[in-house]
Structure 1
């Protein structure tokens, strides 16, 4: 019965589409087909799909004179009308353009349907009547005297001649958005009526809905747009848990793996956030033309299966009910939202729920005042704030998630919420991770997200994470992460889902031509999809290893001097000093005194340094208790560029080049002495920004034991494996361990013994392999 209803829906849907088209060109049907063209002027910005995407702001331009763009209609149709939207700055060159039909894809012996003899108006559609009686499978637009250039190209036939089908394009579900060309590419807030067809598992279901754009920078600067769907009736869209009207289709335009958001959600679930968005990978077709690989996901709003708080009404004004729930967002773009406020310390908030058209002035005033009390408490009595006003579990989970993902947008936009009758602010759910996992170098591979200068909420989270309370929660969470082997789970997620996406990603990057191109701020570019997957997998391994190092409890013997924190005073000079400037006996009393950091980088300096060199010295004290318990010693430094660091007359560290965030570097602990010590550093600069700051941090033997979160190596679980560049990498082995690799049908093709803790085995081809190790069989997808 459901199958019959789906067929009936298809017939009704086809009539709906034809009717909408007929309103624009009465009694005619807009034709669909496979996009064809000669070589475009630019494979990324001027490709053939631009002529059929209903977006007047994009365009096709041929690389050569007589180049063309057109459609394979699949079968022959009479062409009755042609509607075009010329490139605004090339409308005069449109004169002489010819529209042609043919019975072959090479357009041998084409029939000219119409020749443009008058200049079309810029910024307007124009429709040409076609009187040629023949029918054609192949149609195109070309100009024998100029490079073909056109923003929109539409061919029309008689009403209801072309059958509208909704095939599943790959192994993923396919979502068809039918807006009759009315989707608004200019104003993302404008909903348009739509039909949404879901093609999945040999079943097509059609829903009434509205569709609009979504996103901030992704909407403003990227051609591939994201969508928000509002169904007329609540749906378990694609089987996801929430039954809701509002859903999202995320374009993933910057993320060449197409998996960074899903990876972030997996991490969120493992860390135990109260709500993690669901997601399903899909193919999207907009008004009959393929649009790309998308992630279908929840809209982050109030719902029992989303942000589970009381949904407020205009009746909620008594002292208890007015306390919640409020869905909020710390939002760098808050001034673009209808209901927002800014705290005394300049942290912008958007109020997401209650809705902008329902929230009462007294409700807005209440939550604004409450957040103000929270903020004041955080900076005047931090421990009280963490007890009364901040949910420390979700705050630390958000910090840990941000560090492991390296998301440069972590502190620009943070979803959060307040429950009714609970004074605490809860952080989450995580959202928008296209810029994470080293998409770009704004958060370098081995640098703390919280130590960057990106975000409106940094000051809050730095204050939170400086407390013993937060550090205690962090140590517990990190112990759980390691015990649950989250790193391995994420590597397996990348393997399994990249295999699932092979068909879809090929279509997506053929459509957008963006695989090896910079779409936004990407730094690492590759020629193949699988190279991007391997890159992120390696980042996961490196990032977890790095965080395991910085997660150790370190005591500051000489703290660094972050701006707005208590800064250390050093002696310094820009002039070349005597050759013994770094020794303990050198007299630096003639040097200037200033507070670190020194430089200009990211406006972090407390003392400006703009010359090509600086010499700094600092006297500090080490007590006997710290020295006796000492296990390891580290410099915690930011150097841009080359630096030499001396401790008590000895060169302790020499580094060339520069880093753009604080990093730890271990040094010989025997260089520290009980009592007064002398630290001296030289930093040189050639070009760009510059900064120098040095701190000394130590771990004790007791602290090292506390942070050994996983017990002694467990052969059953303590190894890590992943595939990179066609090699199976296994870390954490003992020398002499035997590893056997079988094909999926059980044939042994490789057996090898480890000679160190790391084993690398070349895999012969992509596929599924079984790895026998420690008495267990592991499934590897490559």
Structure 2
């Protein structure tokens, strides 16, 4: 009986266990590939080159040097194939051929140079001489290619390399674009630089050219190529100046021959923007109020009276009349723009103070009994106006009559001064036997015809001319030195931009060769200097 009960109990337990859900985890079924996955796999297979088994059909599908794999390559250099030879040129700058990593794609199983297997974008080789590359089939057969790289046609000038985020074009004078800047010294002793920047267009007439000028803003104040530290810099294209020397020579006259407080420093550079070589530029200090530039007291935006409201102010007389804060003068109707303080810092009391001061000078200059007792000299720094006038007349800068780019400044408790000088690429260093600013004319929008009515002013002009005259004798040697320095860069530059300058005739040398244009500049300067000697002596 007990045996029967035991068997019935075991049977009942087994039946109960069989009715419970299984606790064993079964393997999940493999998903069936969807159409998207199948297409992606097919695309990957399609993009892979078929590995050749016939050595005669082995080849490089592409071969180049990319900036992302080579620190001294600034735009992709693609080599071209001809039979079993690949060759290419690295132009416009000097690079280290001994440490280049090639990027390539082949239809072979592997690639070697000597006994070293090559990895695209990684393996470094010395390309100072031709290199033999071998492409192999899976069976070990190979085809050999001779790869030659030439590095030539560079000027030796420092290279300024600009890159914008996403290679965005610089197409606006208003909108700053984020980017980077690198200065490669090439064959020079200047300091190198690498850092974040912002960049935008600049200029008025010059912005309309195909070869564009640019404004650059560093992330923080730093010295650049031996020039004093600051955030703001200008890249002058000199697109209308066949010599490429006019701005540089005019700055040299102002800096080393006159007593003007400050003149922009500058350096020649060759420029690459987003991988495109743009030719020769003049990297220049931008005119700004700063202890390292126009050294004026910085205005307090809250100042409305007392000594604090008397300066410093930076003004520009310019026909474009395009600043937010501006006025036309009371007597000469001059277009006066406030450069600094700018629209964010200048208050109405400061605007009215400087406007009233400017008009007070004009009231004395245009008084019926002028020059009377020379009261204008109590408000206007005569020597700065004379030195500024000498630079403009010696270079025959016709823009000043419009007026264009005529700067003035006033420090706290100081007089109104002329300067700094700026903008000499157009209508300058022309063969001329007349004054631009001294005499009354319908085209002369300046104070100088009034100033030259004063015998005391004319006497001071003669004195200042004699004081600076010896320094002016050094300018021809400076022109020769700078021309020799940029000669190769100039040839490269006009090889690219000749079509643009050929449409112009503002400097009367656009149809000349570069060498002949430089010679004409030298001749015109010497003739102008001799002519001014006689004219100033007769004042």
The superposition leaves residues 598-657 of structure 1 with CA deviations (integer Å, 9 ceiling, x where unpaired) of: xxxxxxxxxxxxxxxxxxxxxxxxxxxxxxxxxxxxxxxxxxxxxxxxxxxxxxxxxxxx
Are 1:437 and 1:536, in contact at CA under 8 Å, matched by a contact in 2? no
Residues 391/197 of structure 1: CA separation in 2 closer, same or farther (3 Å cut): same
Aligned residue among 394, 398, 401 for 2:384 = 394
8 Å contact kept, 2:246–2:429? no
Deviation at 1:552, TM superposition (A): 2.6
Query: For 1:154-190, what per-residue CA distance to the aligned partner results, in whole angstroms no more than 9, with x for missing partners?
Result: xxxxx98999xxx9953211111101332332x2121
Q: Does 1:536 align with 2:524?
A: no
Q: Is the 8 A contact 1:222 1:519 kept in 2?
A: no
Aligned ranges 1:733-772 → 2 under 5 Å = none
Aligned pairs, how many?
A: 397
What is the CA deviation profile of residues 729-765 of structure 1, one whole-angstrom value per residue up to 9, with x for unaligned ones? Answer: xxxxxxxxxxxxxxxxxxxxxxxxxxxxxxxxxxxxx
Which residue of structure 1 lines up, in the alignment, with residue 364 of structure 2? 377
Greater relative contact order (Cα < 8 A, sep 6+):
2
| Structure 1: distance between partners of 2:467 and 2:63 | 57
2: distance between equivalents of 1:393 and 1:418? 14
* Cα distance change of structure 1 residues 204 and 425 upon mapping to structure 2, 3 Å threshold: closer
Which residues of structure 2 form unaligned runs of 5+? 1-61, 67-77, 86-104, 108-119, 125-151
1:502 to 467, 487, 491: 487
1:457 pairs with 2:445: yes
Runs of 4+ in 1 over 4 A off after TM superposition: 159-163, 201-204, 451-456
Task: Report the TM-score when normalising by structure 1.
Answer: 0.48
Output the CA distance in 2 between the equivalents of 1:302 and 1:408. 26
| Alpha-carbon distance, 1:201 to partner | 5.0
Partners in 1 of 2:375 and 2:426 — Cα distance? 31
Q: Are 1:323 and 2:310 matched, yes or no?
A: yes
CA distance in 1, matches of 2:278, 2:200: 15
Taking structure 1 as reference, are residues 408 and 518 closer, same or farther at Cα in structure 2, changes over 3 Å only? same
CA distance 1:261–1:453, shift in 2 (3 Å) = farther
* Correspondence for 2:264 among 277, 295, 300: 277
Aligned to 1:260: 246
2:234 is matched with which residue?
Answer: 248
How far residue 438 of structure 1 moved from its aligned partner, in angstroms, is: 3.5
2:392 pairs with 1:407: no
Alignment match of 2:421 (pick from 430, 434, 437)? 430
Residue number in structure 1 paired with 2:226: 239
Structure 1 residues 485 and 322: CA distance shift in structure 2, 3 A: closer
Q: Distance in 2 between matches of 1:162 and 1:496?
A: 43
Task: Give 1:367-766 correspondences, 5 Å limit.
Answer: 367-380=354-367, 381-382=370-371, 383-411=373-401, 412-413=403-404, 414-422=406-414, 424-438=415-429, 445-450=432-437, 451=439, 453=441, 457-458=445-446, 460-482=447-469, 484-486=470-472, 488-514=473-499, 517-519=502-504, 521-553=506-538
Q: Which residue of 1 aligns with 2:31?
A: none
Q: Given the alignment, which residue of 155, 169, 180 partners 1:195?
A: 180
Q: Distance in 1 between matches of 2:183 and 2:532?
A: 42
For the structure 1 residues 214 and 515, does the alpha-carbon distance in structure 2 shift closer, same or farther, using more than 3 Å as the test? closer
CA RMSD, Structure 1 to Structure 2 (Å)? 3.0
**Alpha-carbon shift at residue 333 of structure 1 (Å):** 1.3
More strand by share: 1
- SS of the aligned residue for 1:466 comes to coil
Q: How far did 1:399 drift? A: 1.6
- 8 A Cα contact 2:217 2:231, kept in partner: yes
* Equivalence for 1:216: 204
* Contact 2:161–2:182 (8 Å) recurs in 1: yes
1:347 Cα deviation after fit: 0.8
* Change beyond 3 A, Cα 1:406–1:102: closer
Note the C-alpha offset of 1:478.
1.5
* CA distance, structure 1, for counterparts of residue 349 and residue 177 of structure 2: 33
User: C-alpha distance in 2, partners of 1:305/1:454?
Assistant: 38
> Alpha-carbon deviation of 1:264?
0.6
Report the equivalent of 1:567.
Answer: none
Pick the aligned partner of 1:184 from 170, 173, 176.
170
Q: Say if 1:516 and 1:527, in contact at 8 Å, map to a contact too.
A: no
Q: Do 1:260 and 1:436's aligned partners in 2 also have CA atoms closer than 8 Å?
A: no
2:262–2:294 contact (8 Å) kept in structure 1: yes
| Helix, strand or coil at the partner of 2:366 | helix
How far off is 1:456 after superposition?
Answer: 6.3
Higher CA-based Rg: 2
Unmatched runs of 5 consecutive residues or more in structure 1: 1-72, 78-100, 109-132, 136-158, 555-782
1:366 aligns with 2:357: no
